[in-house]
Amino acid sequence: MDLIKNQDYEIVIEDMGNDGEGIGHIGGMTVFVKDTVMGDVAFIKIIKLKKNIAYGRLVKLITPSKYRVEPVCKIARQCGGCTMQHVSYEKQLDYKWNKVKNCLARIGKVEHPEERMEPVLGMEHPYHYRNKSQFPTGRDKDGNVVIGFYAGRTHSIIDTKQCVISAEINDRLTAVIRKFLTDYHISTYDEQSGEGLVRHILTRVGFATGEIMVCLVINGTGLCHAQRLVDALTEIEGMTSVCLNINQEKTNRILGDQCVTLWGRDFITDYIGDIKYQISPLSFFQVNPVQTKVLYDKVLEYADLKGDEVVWDMYCGIGTISLFLARNARQVFGVEAVPQAIEDAKKNAELNHITNAEFYTGKAEEVVPAVYRSGGAGSAADVVVVDPPRKGCDAVLLDTLVQMQPQRIVYVSCDPATLARDVAILQENGYTLRKAAVVDQFCHSGHVETVVLLSQRKPDDVIEVEIELGEMDLTSAESKATYAEIKDYVLKEHGLKVSNLYISQVKRKCGIEVGENYNLPKSEDSRQPQCPEEKEKAIKDALDHFGMI
């Protein structure tokens, strides 16, 4: 059956995708449908067609899934902040656990990963958990101020007066700012023209301390009638910091590099366990403090520190994990690329009277190899903790970790696919996945946080090796993703089928070594088809996704 755009079809939702969207099939075509749940039978309208996949919009439910619930938020379907409020929380947890399991099995090449995975760690009350929120501002067609969240995959603002996942005080904070912008005719930013003053509202709330920060991101250097806003905000109990962030770039970047304090301190404080942290507008700090304590307790458990270990915390941010570990270790070294984060980390160490934590500014893949080569303090580690960005660990860093030979590696990840990719590399180099825990940091979304423990393979561990002839000279870059995984990614994201030949051609163009004779022509006179430009771009996107270029 050939699907037709804007045509309605009946579909049975059989599975759920990376962002929690429903997946079904019509006439052999895979169709992704937002707002559907595994088990739904529904009418959908095809809104986007590619060669082998399609995207649909829910028109009407025929038979609701047993996992479907009524969203608590009335605008959950329009808003891009939550993608899974219509799914029962129990099913959300089951979905996330299986998402990690499948990645470890398919990408990480871990046999029976479920045998090493603990039960998922969810929240007792999965609402109002976010301590940080970022609200874009704008105007509707009638010129009224809108403050809310972007609709999914767009920059259209859904006006939001209440949010059920952010700190409850945010409803009052945004109401005060909405009134201020309206009463004093303060312009809001327009992405198309690059004009208008107020771009975003950033709020931070200390769940343990009750301290509140409000930061207006502005396309300028000052805010008219700022004292009026300060007067209104400081009537709210807990207000600790009112500031501006300067961002005059015409980009999608939310925060600029410069902050100006209008009232109060430059930061707020909060606790994870009994460790106190100073948090500035630009600080990275986990958004769910309740589950962050659960996550860090699990990191501490997996690190299994006895008091005499040297520990590295890579991608350490403001030292949140470093300081959590320091009281149980002899020495902790942290490394982070953002200079301000390192300054915050040093202040946080002083704040907690921790003297055995040392911090480096720079990229982990540059700093750690240099320290290792120096042979000095920090060149050896008993335990390594990595908490990289979504793209996972850099290949140079992984290579250095293998050379350092820590007894244990604790890997914290917000992307199970890149986690699994790096687990596969580490397992190929003498480490074994021992334990894995899934922590629901981002309730009602498709995102998931995972922590795994890898330890050095023992001499008596059973090692089964299966080598295919075409993979005997597999390079470290190639090992990040197989040809089959690259094909799957290109098919899903671009709707294109690509061959091993095309993949190897693009790899060579990108400077990635492949087998010496892999997919080369049989003779100099042989004519070999060349990868079309469209497929080359799609393959390069896949190589970038898997961290190979």
In angstroms, the CA 143 to CA 421 distance is 48
The tokens describing 20, both together, are: 């929690």
Task: Please check whether residues 326 and 407 belong to one and the same domain.
Answer: yes
Tell me how crowded residue 203 is: count the other CB atoms within 10 A of its CB.
21
The tokens describing 53, both together, are: 């996949």
Task: Please check whether residues 306 and 438 belong to one and the same domain.
Answer: yes
Asked if the structure places residue 88 within a domain, the reply is: no
Task: Please check whether residues 352 and 445 belong to one and the same domain.
Answer: yes
Q: Report pLDDT for 459.
A: 61
Q: Report pLDDT for 528.
A: 61
DSSP string, 378-409: TSS-SEEEE---TT---HHHHHHHHHH--SEE
Q: Which of 224, 239, 272 is the last residue of a domain?
A: 272
Quick one: which of 202, 234, 235 has its CA closest to 216? Answer: 202
Asked if the structure places residue 87 within a domain, the reply is: no
* Confidence band for 419, pLDDT divided at 50, 70 and 90: very high
Task: Please check whether residues 249 and 394 belong to one and the same domain.
Answer: no
Quick one: which of 6, 18, 56 has its CA closest to 36? Answer: 56
Share of the chain above pLDDT 90, in %: 80
Q: What is the mean pLDDT of residues 521-531?
A: 56
Q: Report pLDDT for 284.
A: 86
Task: Please check whether residues 479 and 442 belong to one and the same domain.
Answer: no
In angstroms, the CA 332 to CA 358 distance is 6
Report CA-CA distances (Å) from 57 to 11, 60, 95, 313, 369.
11, 9, 21, 44, 49
Of the residues 163, 215, 393, 414, which is catalytic? 414
Active site (annotated) includes residue 510: no
Total length of the chain = 549
Q: What is the mean pLDDT of residues 205-210?
A: 98
* Confidence band for 524, pLDDT divided at 50, 70 and 90: very low
Q: What tens digit of pLDDT does each residue of 128-143 get? A: 999 999 999 999 999 9
Q: What tens digit of pLDDT does each residue of 190-204 get? A: 999 999 999 999 999
In angstroms, the CA 549 to CA 536 distance is 14
In angstroms, the CA 285 to CA 213 distance is 14
Asked if the structure places residue 106 within a domain, the reply is: no
Grouping H, G, I as helix, E, B as strand and the rest as coil, residue 214 is strand
Q: What is the mean pLDDT of residues 199-225?
A: 98
Grouping H, G, I as helix, E, B as strand and the rest as coil, residue 249 is coil
Asked if the structure places residue 483 within a domain, the reply is: yes
Q: What tens digit of pLDDT does each residue of 464-509 get? A: 444 443 433 444 444 467 888 898 888 888 888 888 888 888 988 8
Q: Tell me: pLDDT of 50 over 50.
A: yes
Average predicted confidence (pLDDT) for the chain: 92
The tokens describing 317, both together, are: 């941010």
Q: What is the mean pLDDT of residues 31-53?
A: 96
Quick one: which of 266, 376, 378, 268 has its CA closest to 322? Answer: 378
* Confidence band for 309, pLDDT divided at 50, 70 and 90: very high
Full domain range(s) for residue 513: 469-545
Q: What is the mean pLDDT of residues 37-44?
A: 98
The tokens describing 247, both together, are: 């961002």
Task: Please check whether residues 308 and 450 belong to one and the same domain.
Answer: yes
Q: What is the mean pLDDT of residues 514-523?
A: 48
Task: Please check whether residues 430 and 343 belong to one and the same domain.
Answer: yes
Q: Report pLDDT for 469.
A: 37
* Confidence band for 510, pLDDT divided at 50, 70 and 90: confident
Q: Tell me: pLDDT of 89 over 80.
A: yes
The gap from C-alpha 32 to its chain's centroid, in whole angstroms, comes to: 21
DSSP string, 80-97: SS-S-TTB-HHHHHHHHH
Q: What tens digit of pLDDT does each residue of 348-361 get? A: 999 999 999 999 99
Task: Please check whether residues 201 and 149 belong to one and the same domain.
Answer: yes
Quick one: which of 141, 137, 172 has its CA closest to 157? Answer: 137
Task: Please check whether residues 514 and 439 belong to one and the same domain.
Answer: no
Task: Please check whether residues 533 and 423 belong to one and the same domain.
Answer: no
In angstroms, the CA 272 to CA 289 distance is 7
Q: Which of 427, 456, 485 is the last residue of a domain?
A: 456
- Is 177 in contact with 161 (CB distance < 8 Å)? no
In angstroms, the CA 168 to CA 123 distance is 17
The tokens describing 460, both together, are: 């008596």
Q: What is the CATH number of the domain that holds 36?
A: 2.40.50.140
Asked if the structure places residue 445 within a domain, the reply is: yes
Rounded to two decimals, what is the model's pTM?
A: 0.81
Q: Report pLDDT for 497.
A: 84
- Is 503 in contact with 515 (CB distance < 8 Å)? no
Q: Tell me: pLDDT of 451 over 80.
A: yes
Q: How many domains does the chain have?
A: 4
Asked if the structure places residue 35 within a domain, the reply is: yes
Task: Please check whether residues 230 and 162 belong to one and the same domain.
Answer: yes
How many helices (H) and strands (E) the chain has is answered by 12, 21
Q: Tell me: pLDDT of 516 over 60.
A: no
- Is 397 in contact with 406 (CB distance < 8 Å)? no
* Confidence band for 81, pLDDT divided at 50, 70 and 90: confident
Output phi, psi for 377, to 5 deg: -60, 130
In angstroms, the CA 129 to CA 442 distance is 9
Q: What is the CATH number of the domain that holds 430?
A: 3.40.50.150
Secondary structure letter of residue 277 according to DSSP: E
The tokens describing 421, both together, are: 């990719």
Q: Report pLDDT for 460.
A: 57
Q: Where do the H-state alpha helices sit in 313-468?
A: 320-326, 339-351, 364-374, 395-404, 416-427
Least-confidence region, from 252-256, 395-399, 454-458: 454-458
Quick one: which of 50, 20, 18, 55 has its CA closest to 36? Answer: 20
Of residues 472 and 397, more confidence is placed in 397
Q: What tens digit of pLDDT does each residue of 263-289 get? A: 999 999 999 999 999 999 998 899 999
Task: Please check whether residues 515 and 404 belong to one and the same domain.
Answer: no
Q: Tell me: pLDDT of 428 over 90.
A: yes
* Confidence band for 114, pLDDT divided at 50, 70 and 90: very high
Q: What is the mean pLDDT of residues 418-427?
A: 97
Helices 533-545 and 483-494 pack at an angle, to 10 degrees, of 110
Report CA-CA distances (Å) from 194 to 143, 250, 253, 331, 533.
17, 6, 13, 48, 33
The tokens describing 487, both together, are: 């094909």
DSSP string, 117-186: BPPPB--SS-SS-BSEEEEEEEE-TTS-EEEEEEBTTS--EEE-S--SSB-THHHHHHHHHHHHHHHTT-
Secondary structure letter of residue 250 according to DSSP: S
